[in-house]
């Protein structure tokens, strides 16, 4: 059996992607709604993974800069965590980055998700810090 797959989100997917992010970051984690969605959403590459019923259950975004890029807003629905949807989204974002000539990703990982990113080849650099009141650590990975 193959595991979950992911794809780039289209404009039509946006309401479902935004609703998933709201459930995870605003309702579950208490991030203020006004900072959860930001201006970067308009230009980011958004990826998603669906369950067998076709519902969007994981998402994340890639922000492309000059020769480097950032991944953020990684979220999987609470009920599907640990089943590979998050890893599928991350792999799709890496694929999209490589297709744009990006050689390195830097991201701000929630400390509780550090192991998830380490499994995907990231290394933590520097000290922990607070963002939106949540402990984070910067992590990097070459593509
Ligand atoms: C972090 C998150 C996106 C991971 O999604 P997921 O679908 O549960 O992850 P996967 O099932 O694809 O896990 C991939 C691997 O990472 C591991 N993993 C997942 N979450 C982990 C965690 N928090 N700590 C350590 N390892 C973790 C899995 O066990 C799996 O390992 P394996 O390859 O050995 O089987 C999800 O837990 C989530 O939405 N958390 C709440 C929001 C959040 O913290 N987002 C990150 C913001 S930086």
83-138 tens-digit pLDDT: 999 999 999 999 999 999 999 999 999 999 999 999 999 999 999 999 988 999 99
Per the structure, the count of domains in the chain is: 1
Spatial separation of the C-alpha atoms in residues 79 and 44, rounded to whole Å = 26
pTM: 0.97
Report pLDDT digits (tens) over 38-95: 999 999 999 999 999 999 999 999 999 876 799 999 999 999 999 999 999 999 999 9
CATH no. for residue 99? 3.40.630.30
Closest ligand 1 atom to 85 CA? 7
Residue ranges making up the domain that contains 38: 7-142
Query: Coil, strand or helix: which one is 89?
Result: helix
Is the CB of 23 inside a 6 Å radius of any atom of ligand 1?
Answer: no
Give yes or no for a contact between 136 and 129, defined as CB atoms under 8 angstroms apart: yes
What is the C-alpha to C-alpha distance for residues 64 and 121, in angstroms, rounded to an integer? 19
Determine how many CB atoms are found less than 10 A away from the CB of residue 59.
Answer: 28
In a domain, 2, yes or no: no
Distance (angstroms) between ligand 1 centre and the Cα of 48 equals 15
Classify residue 1: in a domain, yes or no: no
Best residue among 27, 28, 82, 135 to mutate for probing ligand 1's pocket (most ligand atoms within 8 Å of CB) is 82
């Amino acid at each position: 059996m193959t595991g979950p797959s992911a794809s780039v989100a289209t404009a039509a997917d946006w309401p479902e992607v935004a609703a998933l992010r709201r459930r995870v970051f605003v309702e579950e984690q208490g991030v203020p709604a006004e900072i959860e969605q930001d201006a970067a959403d308009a230009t980011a590459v958004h990826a998603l993974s669906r369950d067998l019923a076709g519902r969007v259950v994981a998402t994340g975004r890639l922000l492309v800069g000059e020769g480097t890029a950032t991944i953020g807003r990684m979220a999987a629905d609470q009920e599907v965590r640990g089943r590979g949807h998050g890893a599928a989204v991350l792999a799709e974002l890496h694929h999209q980055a490589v297709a744009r000539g990006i050689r390195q990703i830097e991201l701000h990982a929630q400390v509780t998700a550090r192991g998830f990113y380490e499994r995907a080849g990231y290394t933590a650099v520097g000290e922990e810090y607070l963002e939106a009141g949540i402990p984070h650590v910067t992590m990097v990975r070459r593509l």
